[in-house]
Amino acid sequence: MAVAVRELPLDLDAFEGPFDLLLTLVLREELELRDVDVAEVVLAFVESRAERGELDLEACGEFLVLVAALLELKARGLFPDEGLDLEGLDPEEAAEELAERLAAYRRFRAAASWLDERLEAESDRFFRLGAAPLAPVPSRALAQQDPAQLAAALRALAVGSPEPSLRHLVLTYPPLARFLDRFRTLLRSRGRFAFDNEVDRLSRIEQIVAFLALLELRKRGEAQIAQAGPFEPITVWNVSAS
């Protein structure tokens, strides 16, 4: 049937002759593929099958392989930079790519036929599904239950879950005035103190507020601050003492 498909007569606007010759001319770039209407090729094949009045799956498969090659070549024409170099090929060489595809198609068709024959040969064999007949039936013994406890458990399940608490997500900042008063007292009594020693045991939030209070004193001109280097202790002293 492959010969009948490849020799399918075509009468197109740009070509008249057998299907095999059309593919050869296209591969040799002697016929512009954009001028070939693939839909007309498919209609011609369908009409030829309808005239025979029978469904030939082998011929249909052969035709699908050939038309697929034609469509692929037409798609490659949209990307000239990625096209194949087929100049100077004779008809045999030009049809080599199609022959390889047809050979691959026949291999897969033979494998499918072999699998179908094996399935038919093994159709009288049956396999048991599930557990063996002599296997013990698994059973789960339940202890005697108290109906009151069961009712209490069901009531507990029916109670809605409490709303989650978000209190741990709320940040509480101490008042800035507390640290302002504390640092002013230290400056009046000592005249100088180390900031790191005063905030060493405070929480991270309290240390941040204390540092803001220190900057506020510096901004108001009530204290001077100094640091020998990055991450070094911060020294604070009274402006009047300097």
pTM over 0.75: no
For residue 181, give Cα distances in angstroms to 9, 176, 193, 198, 241.
Answer: 105, 9, 14, 13, 18
Token pair 């601050």 is at which residue?
Answer: 225
174-238: CATH topology is Arc Repressor Mutant, subunit A (1.10.10)
Give me the helix-helix angle, 96-121 and 19-27, nearest 10°.
130
The pLDDT value given to residue 13: 79
pLDDT in tens, 66-82: 787 777 767 666 555 54
Rounded to an integer, the average pLDDT of 182-199 is: 92
Q: Is the pLDDT of residue 185 over 90?
A: yes
Residue spans per domain, the chain = 2-121, 174-238
CB of 59 within 8 A of CB of 52? no
Cα angle, residue 55 at apex, residues 54 and 61 outer, rounded to 5° = 145
Q: Is the pLDDT of residue 215 over 90?
A: yes
pLDDT in tens, 113-149: 888 888 888 777 766 666 666 666 777 777 788 888 8
